[in-house]
Amino acid sequence: MRAAAPAVDAALIVIDVQNDFCPGGALAVAEGDAVVPAINAMMADFAAVVLTQDWHPADHASFAASHPGAAPFSVTEMPYGPQVLWPAHCVQGSPGAEFHPALDTDAADLILRKGFRPAIDSYSAFFENDRTTPTGLEAYLRSRGAARLVLAGLATDFCVAWSALDAARLGFAVTVRLPACRAIDMDGSLAAALDQMRAAGVALEG
């Protein structure tokens, strides 16, 4: 029998460092692969490391291809609010859904898959985009004793920001390491996300 995982004070949450979000991927973030060395170097400083992984069915409702006539990056209304319609990406079991090959996945205590429910997207590591359906990450972190969270990964203005805002709302002390993140920056989304995080008390480093 394995010993129980030790309690920790701080956890590193690495958001969606997957092939489809890196150069050459279906939804590439500029310089997305540049975050990998910084994230790998950070891992040794944390007793708890969580990797999140976008994990969509091929017909996911957030894909433009699931809405005939809709253009990628257009916005539609879903029952839970506005939804950007993305190019198909991070499809379950596909090479694009795999972690970047240079990411040190062996250092992770937990790999959390999100976005697997066909009818709802999941930017945040903590909740689906309805902001109420939990992923289970909060309970895991509470059970480990982590009160402080450091976030890094892709993309700053979507999944990283939503995760940071939810973590702050849940009462965690949250830091985002900006040099270990990259943004999509669509129509001013990066500046808006940074403002929202600052207003929520998220510490922005770098």
Catalytic site positions? 16, 114, 159
Cβ-based burial of 182 (10 A; exposed 0-12, middle 13-18, buried ≥19): buried
| CA gap 1, 140 in Å, rounded | 20
Strand partners, 53: 113
Q: At 16, phi and psi to the nearest 5? A: 50, 45
| CA 103, 109, 114, 116 torsion-angle sign | positive
Q: Contact at 8 Å (CB) between 19 and 27?
A: no
For 71-97, give the DSSP string: PTT-EEEETTEEEE-BPS-SBTTSGGG
What distance lies between CA 178 and its chain's CA centroid? 14
Two tokens, residue 164 = 């940071």
